[in-house]
């Protein structure tokens, strides 16, 4: 009996040791060779290029960004996009409506060198920088003809009230000078406006992007045009690719008295409805909306909701047809990922915006129009027909 127990114990110990060795080998293999990784082939490619590639490996961020771009492209959604840190920063500035900077336009000369054009009364001009100064260095970053202009802009921009040091070469002799400029809040207007040169009663409000400052800018534009004699208005959304959804809704609210603007639904989520809470401050002004194939996303929210309420006619050609919403995520290195996360629609339209875009109430033919603006001429005609001459 004792012999039998000893034999059994020996057998069980051997089995236990075998299982422990097997487990150790399995986990060691899995750790060193992560074949179970969803991106095991990518890991192999990275290793093989490093081991056998003749050319030196790029910096890790460059390869990582390339892999991310490939992953996003393979996702198959044209509106899901990855922006590297510089471009993410510039887009953020654009949508916020302002940035911390020195107030200067950058351009390249015939040799590709970056040239400064300070705005009047800007921090750049007050510090002594002159129109035509050639930029050589921003803080410790040399600026060459090969430096992407977006990188130069991002290097100059930064927190308000913080200094940035610029080294320049001043024509005509190219003498080098260094200036320290304190950054200030520089507005990025999303709206421009003017009186129509043909119809002095027609105020033109051009909206270039839907930013956080855009609703207030539109109110300011209309007030200024009214002081200059305008009694009817054209909201020009041509070429406006959109921007912030909430601000698109808020712009629509400026022109509407009541009702639903849009509804949206996220993945596996409930439907959210955006309504007009009270009559907007511009809900009574005579209005037309100018649209074209570049009118997209948040600008289609504005045009579509106004059309659905029969508030004003759309003048132009069918719009782009983008009825999706992107959630933007800031990543650890200040790059960003915009992921299509929801769809929106305008109740009351004859067809979804994503199926061919918004259809104009008054169609124009841009081809063979010569020097005339057929959109603007159609807007003038629309107001003439509503208010014929006595």
Half-sphere exposure of 205 (CA within 13 A, CB side): 27
**Domain final residue, candidates 187, 221, 241:** 187
Contact 164, 151 (CB under 8 A): no
Per-residue DSSP letter, 203: E
Domain termination residue (choose one: 187, 213, 237): 187
pTM exceeds 0.85, yes or no? no
pLDDT number for residue 344 = 97
- Give me 257's structure tokens: 């008295």
Token representation of residue 304: 């579509």
Domain count within the chain: 4
Q: Let me know: does 388 contact 374? Beta carbons within 8 Å.
A: no
* Domain co-membership, 237 together with 197: yes
Task: Looking at the structure, tell me whether residues 104 and 215 fall in a common domain.
Answer: no
Rg (CA), the chain: 30
Q: Which residues of 348-367 are buried (b: 16+ CB within 10 A; e: fewer)?
A: eeeeebeeebbebeeebeee
What the block records as the tokens of 261 is: 């603007």
Q: How many CB atoms lie within 10 A of CB 80?
A: 17
Residues 158 and 235 in one domain: no
Residue 368: the pLDDT is 67
Spatial distance between the Cα atoms of 114 and 106, rounded to a whole number of angstroms: 7
Q: Which residues contact 371 (CB under 8 A, 6 or more apart)?
A: none
pLDDT at 200: 95
Residue 299 included in any domain: yes
Three-point CA angle 242, 98, 196, nearest 5°: 60
pLDDT digit string (tens) for the chain, length 390 residues: 444 444 444 544 444 444 444 444 444 444 445 445 678 888 888 889 889 999 988 888 888 899 999 999 999 999 999 999 999 999 999 899 989 999 999 999 988 999 999 998 999 999 999 999 999 999 999 999 999 999 999 999 999 999 999 999 999 999 999 999 999 999 989 999 999 999 999 999 999 999 999 999 999 999 999 999 999 999 999 999 999 999 999 999 999 999 999 999 998 889 999 999 999 999 999 999 999 999 999 999 999 999 999 999 999 999 999 999 999 999 999 999 999 999 999 999 999 999 999 999 999 988 766 668 899 999 999 888 766 444
User: How far apart, in whole angstroms, are the C-alpha atoms of residue 111 and residue 345?
Assistant: 49
How confident is the model at residue 386, as a pLDDT?
Answer: 66
Question: Do 11 and 60 lie in a common domain?
Answer: no
Nearest to 300 by CA among 344, 340, 258, 256: 344
Give, in order, the Cα–Cα distances in Å from 112 to each of 20, 88, 155, 170, 175: 66, 24, 18, 16, 19
245-255 and 214-227 are packed helices; what angle lies between their axes, rounded to 10 degrees?
30
* Residue 141 · residue 155 · CB < 8 Å: yes
Rounded to an integer, what distance in angstroms lies between the CA atom of residue 123 and that of residue 86?
22
**229 and 366 in one domain?**
yes
Say if 313 falls within a structural domain. Answer: yes
Q: Report yes or no on 46 lying in a domain.
A: yes
Residue 93 belongs to a domain: no
Judge if 138 and 236 occupy the same domain.
Answer: no
Q: Are 250 and 275 in contact (CB under 8 A)?
A: no
> Both 252 and 361 in a single domain?
yes
Domain containing 2 equals 1-32
Instruction: State the CATH number of the domain containing residue 181.
Output: 2.30.42.10
**Residue 44 counted as domain residue:** yes
Q: For position 21, what pLDDT does the model report?
A: 47
Show which of 187, 205, 224 is a domain's final residue.
187
Query: Can you tell me whether residue 322 is helix, strand or coil?
Result: coil
Residues 302 and 371 in one domain: yes
Write down the pLDDT at residue 224: 97
**Structure tokens belonging to residue 285:** 């002004």
Same domain, 321 and 234: yes
DSSP state of 313: -
**Whether residues 302 and 277 fall in one domain:** yes
Do 16 and 121 fall within a single domain?
A: no
81 in any annotated domain = no
Any alpha helices (H) in 78-213, and if so which ranges?
85-96, 123-127, 149-156
Q: Kindly state whether residue 222 falls inside one of the protein's structural domains.
A: yes
Q: Are residues 231 and 271 in the same domain?
A: yes
Classify residue 87: in a domain, yes or no.
no
Mark 282-310 as b/e (b = at least 16 C-beta within 10 Å).
Answer: bbebbbbbbbbeebbbbbbbbbbbbbbbe
């Amino acid at each position: 009996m004792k012999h039998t127990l000893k034999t059994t114990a020996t057998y069980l110990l051997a089995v236990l040791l075998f299982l422990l060795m097997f487990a150790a080998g399995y986990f060691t293999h899995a750790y060193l060779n992560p074949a179970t990784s969803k991106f095991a082939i990518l890991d192999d490619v990275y290793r093989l290029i490093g081991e056998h590639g003749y050319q030196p490996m790029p910096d890790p961020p460059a390869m990582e960004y390339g892999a991310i771009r490939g992953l996003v492209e393979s996702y198959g959604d044209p509106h899901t996009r990855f922006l590297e840190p510089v471009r993410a920063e510039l887009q953020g500035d654009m949508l916020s409506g302002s940035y911390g900077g020195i107030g200067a336009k950058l351009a390249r000369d015939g040799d590709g060198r970056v040239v400064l054009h300070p705005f009047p009364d800007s921090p750049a001009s007050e510090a002594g920088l002159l129109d035509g100064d050639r930029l050589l260095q921003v803080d410790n970053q040399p600026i060459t003809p090969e430096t992407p202009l977006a990188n130069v802009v991002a290097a100059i921009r930064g927190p308000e009230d913080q200094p940035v040091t610029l080294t320049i070469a001043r024509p005509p002799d190219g003498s080098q000078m260094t200036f320290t400029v304190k950054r200030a809040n520089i507005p990025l207007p999303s709206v421009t406006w003017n009186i129509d040169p043909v119809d002095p009663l027609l105020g033109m409000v051009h909206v270039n992007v839907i930013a956080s400052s855009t609703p207030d800018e539109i109110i300011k534009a209309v007030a200024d045009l009214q002081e200059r004699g305008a009694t009817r208005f054209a909201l020009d959304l041509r070429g406006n690719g959109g921007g912030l959804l909430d601000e698109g809704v808020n712009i629509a609210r400026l022109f509407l008295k009541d009702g639903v603007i849009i509804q949206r639904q996220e993945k596996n989520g409930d439907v959210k409805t955006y309504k007009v809470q009270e009559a907007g401050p511009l809900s009574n002004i005579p209005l037309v909306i100018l649209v074209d194939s570049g009118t997209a996303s948040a600008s289609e929210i504005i045009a579509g909701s106004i059309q659905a309420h029969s508030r004003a006619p759309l003048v132009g050609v069918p719009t782009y047809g983008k009825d999706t919403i992107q959630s933007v995520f800031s990543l650890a290195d200040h790059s960003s990922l915009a992921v299509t996360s929801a769809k929106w629609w305008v109740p009351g339209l004859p067809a979804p915006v994503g199926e061919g875009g918004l259809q104009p109430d008054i169609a124009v033919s841009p081809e063979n129009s010569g020097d005339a603006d057929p959109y603007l001429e159609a807007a003038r005609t629309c107001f003439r027909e509503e208010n014929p001459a006595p």
